[in-house]
Homo-oligomer: A and B are copies of this chain.
Amino acid sequence: MYNGENMTLLDEKQANQLAELFSALSDPSRVRIIATLLEGETNVGALAKIVGISESAISHQLRTLRQMRLVRARRQGREVYYVLDDAHVADIFQRSLDHIKHK
């Protein structure tokens, strides 16, 4: 079961992907964005107020979440509504949240 330079069950690519996924969830602002979106579709301005940072900052964060396909955008008039776009990650997030809450 030789896989190059190491003997881990996961290769370098998988390790990087996994780290990248957790990185997406590793910032308090993004955590709050996702927690909010768990409740349902929300637009940028509302997210800014709820999370407590500028719209610009929210927009930058949503960009990374979008690039990772964790959220999806829908424009309605001049507002842009975001939804979670990865049920499995949402599930992982919810489980982790429960973990934090119960101790």
* A27 touching B32, Cβ below 8 Å: no
Q: Which of A6-14, A56-64, A74-82 contacts B (4 or more CB under 8 A)?
A: A6-14
Residues of B within 8 A of A26 (CB): 19, 22-23, 25-26
Closest 7 CB pairs of A and B: A22-B25, A23-B26, A22-B26, A26-B26, A19-B28, A15-B28, A15-B31
A-B contact pairs, 26 of them (CB 8 A): A6-B32, A6-B52, A7-B50, A8-B32, A9-B35, A9-B39, A10-B31, A12-B28, A14-B100, A14-B101, A15-B28, A18-B28, A18-B97, A19-B25, A19-B30, A19-B31, A21-B96, A22-B22, A22-B23, A23-B26, A88-B95, A88-B99, A91-B95, A92-B92, A92-B95, A95-B95
Chain A interface residues (CB < 8 Å from chain B)? 5-10, 12, 14-19, 21-23, 25-28, 30-32, 35-36, 39, 49-52, 88-89, 91-92, 95-97, 99-101
